[in-house]
């Protein structure tokens, strides 16, 4: 039996204690190491976070840049697509018909220029080809259709210009074109059928006589131009021979100018249509208007006179319009809000391109703003001052009034057809929209009818039709015997047929003495024949 040794036991205990202490120290060291690693991890993690955020910000920035570039290119694509559609729909024919387009000249090497026809098929322009293949453009009616149909040598004008591409394009039967190709012969170009009426055109031409000026007739329901005359005129059959004299630097000739579409004139009293409309739309009661005309109206040392200083006496608004009283309308002009007056004229197509298929049309001008002098206001109110209009513009206004406020865009080409008469392209009537309200149109119709029944247009009273309009005398020099004579209006018969007209005759006297009788000849010819 082993003896218990206290000393050994104590040593064992000491060893155990030492082992325990070592284990505790090891645990503390491990814990310290763990803590250190955690701290280092946390430190590392916190150190990495800004870098990661920075990278994320860089990525976001790049994504935004890519998005912006994408959107820019998308917008450019949409714009380009829109432009192509717009060009093909509205501008392609203008580009094709451009006189500088070299391809058009090449078409004439393969195509005999087509005919231009009236609305009933009457030939207005044709190409004669002799045995040697020489081509000569012929115009059977000579100067009667000069400005409407135009010319095709030394440049182009009229329908010859507007439909140049159509006349040089051939849609002949395919076998015809093949045979012509085999025989080395030209194909027949397409014919252009216009809206022009031969009888009405002749009536307008005769009505103008030897006076310079213009006459234009429009169908209010469709916008078809039925007649268009400008004088002085020329013979398109001999234009090549006379060209140098027309365009010489020292020449004062204006025969090539189509006054119906490109001429600008002071409108004279025809402008009272707009002054009257503005007065009514600014809330003035027509029944409350009263004016005592003694032939002269003076304001701020500026005097306005009625034609031949005629005293019209006591007038209501209808009388003042029917008598074309300058004094009354000068007084009205001074009462108007000029800004509203100007905006109304803007809506009535002043200071802008006219909505029409015709090329090279003049822009009518009316400028009257706040601060204008009283003398300018008085002049403008009666169609003088700085205001200028084209006959086409005034015919369009008359057309809209006749058509209960809706303006149909004027056009002169009805359709194109191949040599066999098959329609290639139809040009349909296009509505511009409401130029004025139907109630405003009805009001103006009432006033314009009074001009004929009781006023300065009484010559137009007839059993064949009912006429409406406004006369005008526009001063352009100190010589009272060289005024421009105007009539703007429309007429309709019991069957509902109607036409709108604008007639201006240069260097004559009052509208009632010249333009009104000319208009009567036009109305009589049209309604007498239909």
Tell me the three-class secondary structure of 303-340, residue by residue: EEECHHHCCCEEECHHHHHHCCCHHHHHHHHHHCCHHH
Q: Are residues 15 and 77 in the same domain?
A: yes
Q: Are residues 299 and 379 in the same domain?
A: yes
Query: Which pLDDT value is given to residue 397?
Result: 98
Query: Which pLDDT value is given to residue 6?
Result: 47
Query: Which pLDDT value is given to residue 267?
Result: 97
Write down which residue in 74, 97, 120 finishes a domain: 97
Q: Are residues 441 and 509 in the same domain?
A: yes
Domain region containing 188: 109-194
Q: What is the CB neighbour count within 10 angstroms for residue 326?
A: 30
Could you tell me if residue 246 is inside a domain? no
Could you tell me if residue 5 is inside a domain? no
Q: What would the mean pLDDT of 489-508 be, rounded to a whole number? A: 95
Could you tell me if residue 104 is inside a domain? no
Query: Which pLDDT value is given to residue 88?
Result: 47
Q: Are residues 168 and 264 in the same domain?
A: no
Residue 444 reports pLDDT greater than 50: yes
Instruction: Quick: pLDDT tens for 87-146.
Output: 445 555 555 555 556 566 677 788 999 999 999 999 999 999 998 889 999 999 999 999
Residue 173 reports pLDDT greater than 80: yes
Split at pLDDT 50, 70, 90, the class of 361 is: very high
Split at pLDDT 50, 70, 90, the class of 262 is: very high
Query: Which pLDDT value is given to residue 265?
Result: 96
Q: Are 395 and 216 in contact (CB under 8 A)?
A: yes
Instruction: Quick: pLDDT tens for 362-412.
Output: 999 999 888 899 999 999 999 999 999 999 999 999 999 999 999 999 999
CA angle 242–246–248, rounded 5-degree value = 115
d(CA 294, CA 456): 18
Query: Which pLDDT value is given to residue 3?
Result: 47
The residue ranking higher by pLDDT, 177 or 302, is 302
Give the three-class secondary structure for 112. Answer: strand
Q: What would the mean pLDDT of 270-289 be, rounded to a whole number? A: 97
Identify the CA nearest to 189 among candidates 125, 134, 145, 272: 125
Q: Are 281 and 289 in contact (CB under 8 A)?
A: no
Q: What would the mean pLDDT of 437-445 be, rounded to a whole number? A: 98
Which CATH number characterizes residue 162's domain? Answer: 3.90.1310.10
Q: Are residues 274 and 337 in the same domain?
A: yes
Split at pLDDT 50, 70, 90, the class of 313 is: very high
H helix or E strand, kind and range, residue 17: helix 6-86
| Residues near 33 by beta carbon (within 8 Å), at least 6 away in sequence | none
Count of domains observed in the chain: 3
Residue 35: both structure tokens together: 């803590």
Instruction: Quick: pLDDT tens for 327-345.
Output: 999 999 999 999 999 999 9
Split at pLDDT 50, 70, 90, the class of 180 is: confident
H helix or E strand, kind and range, residue 508: strand 498-508
Q: What would the mean pLDDT of 22-47 be, rounded to a whole number? A: 55
Identify the CA nearest to 437 among candidates 466, 468, 470, 403: 403
Three-state secondary structure string covering 486-502: EEEEEEECCCCCEEEEE
Residue 210 reports pLDDT greater than 70: yes
Identify the CA nearest to 372 among candidates 405, 410, 333: 333
Instruction: Quick: pLDDT tens for 237-259.
Output: 999 999 999 988 777 789 999 99
Q: What would the mean pLDDT of 6-31 be, rounded to a whole number? A: 55
**Please, how many CA atoms are within 13 Å of residue 496, restricted to the half-sphere of its CB?**
2
Q: Are 18 and 10 in contact (CB under 8 A)?
A: no
Query: Which pLDDT value is given to residue 4?
Result: 47
Q: Are residues 282 and 421 in the same domain?
A: yes
Residue 437: both structure tokens together: 């309200």
Split at pLDDT 50, 70, 90, the class of 198 is: very high
Radius of gyration of the chain (CA): 41
Phi and psi at residue 491, in whole multiples of 5°? -150, 150
Q: Are residues 371 and 272 in the same domain?
A: yes
Could you tell me if residue 244 is inside a domain? no
Residue 293 reports pLDDT greater than 70: yes
DSSP tag of 480: G
Alpha helical stretches, state H, 87-173? 92-97, 102-107, 146-149, 158-162, 164-168
Q: Are residues 280 and 364 in the same domain?
A: yes
One DSSP character per residue, 343-367 reads HHHHHTTTTS--SSS-SSPPPPB--
Residue 46 reports pLDDT greater than 70: no
User: What average pLDDT does the chain have?
Assistant: 87
Q: Are residues 263 and 344 in the same domain?
A: yes
Query: Which pLDDT value is given to residue 162?
Result: 93
b/e code 381-390 from CB counts within 10 Å (16+ = b): bbbbbebbbb
One DSSP character per residue, 403-456 reads TTTEEEPPB-EEEEE-TT--EEEE----EEEESS-HHHHHHHHHHHHHHHHHST
Query: Which pLDDT value is given to residue 176?
Result: 80
- Partner residues linked to 415 by β-bridges: 193, 426
């Amino acid at each position: 039996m082993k003896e218990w040794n206290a000393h050994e036991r104590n040593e064992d205990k000491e060893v155990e204690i030492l082992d325990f202490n070592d284990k505790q120290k090891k645990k503390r060291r491990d814990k310290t190491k763990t803590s250190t690693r955690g701290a280092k991890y946390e430190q590392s993690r916190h150190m990495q976070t800004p870098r990661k955020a920075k990278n994320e910000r860089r990525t976001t920035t790049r994504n935004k840049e890519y998005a912006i570039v994408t959107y820019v290119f998308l917008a450019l694509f949409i714009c380009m697509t829109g432009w192509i559609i717009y060009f093909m729909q509205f501008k392609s024919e203008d580009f094709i018909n451009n006189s500088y387009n070299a391809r058009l000249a090449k078409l004439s090497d393969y195509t005999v220029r087509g005919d231009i026809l009236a609305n009933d098929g009457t030939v207005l322009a044709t190409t004669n080809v002799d045995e040697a293949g020489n081509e000569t453009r012929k115009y059977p009616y000579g100067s009667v259709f000069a400005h409407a149909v135009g010319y095709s040598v030394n440049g182009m004008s009229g329908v010859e210009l507007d439909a140049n591409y159509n006349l040089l394009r051939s849609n002949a039967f395919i076998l015809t074109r093949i045979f012509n190709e085999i025989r080395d012969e030209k194909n027949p170009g397409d014919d252009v059928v216009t809206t022009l009426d031969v009888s009405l055109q002749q009536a307008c031409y005769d009505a103008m006589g030897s006076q310079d000026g213009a006459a234009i007739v429009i169908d209010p329901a469709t916008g078809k131009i039925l007649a268009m005359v400008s004088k002085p005129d020329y013979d398109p059959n001999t234009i090549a021979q006379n060209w140098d004299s027309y365009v010489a630097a020292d020449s004062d000739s204006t025969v090539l100018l189509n006054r119906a579409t490109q001429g600008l004139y002071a409108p004279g009293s025809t402008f009272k249509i707009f002054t009257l409309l503005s007065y009514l739309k600014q809330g003035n009661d027509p029944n409350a208007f009263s004016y005592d005309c003694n032939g002269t109206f003076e304001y701020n040392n500026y005097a306005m006179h009625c034609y031949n200083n005629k005293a019209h006496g006591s007038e209501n608004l209808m009388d003042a319009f029917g008598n074309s009283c300058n004094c009354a309308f000068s007084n009205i002009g001074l009462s108007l809000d000029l800004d509203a007056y100007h905006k109304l004229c803007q809506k009535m197509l002043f200071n802008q391109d006219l909505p029409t298929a015709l090329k090279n049309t003049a822009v009518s001008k009316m400028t009257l703003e706040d601060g204008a002098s009283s003398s300018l206001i008085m002049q403008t109110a009666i169609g003088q001052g700085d205001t200028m209009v084209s006959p086409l513009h005034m015919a369009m206004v008359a057309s809209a009034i006749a058509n209960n406020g809706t303006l149909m865009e004027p056009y002169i080409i009805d359709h194109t057809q191949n040599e066999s008469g098959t329609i290639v392209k139809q040009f349909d009537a296009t509505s511009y929209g409401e130029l004025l309200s139907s109630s405003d149109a009805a009001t103006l119709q009432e006033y314009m009818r009074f001009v004929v029944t009781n006023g300065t247009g009484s010559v137009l009273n007839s059993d064949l039709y009912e006429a409406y309009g406004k006369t005008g005398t526009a001063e352009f020099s100190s010589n009272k015997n060289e005024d421009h004579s105007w009539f703007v209006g429309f007429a309709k018969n019991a069957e509902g047929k109607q036409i709108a007209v604008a007639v201006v005759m240069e260097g004559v006297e009052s509208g009632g003495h010249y333009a009104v009788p000319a208009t009567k000849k036009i109305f009589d010819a049209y309604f007498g024949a239909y």
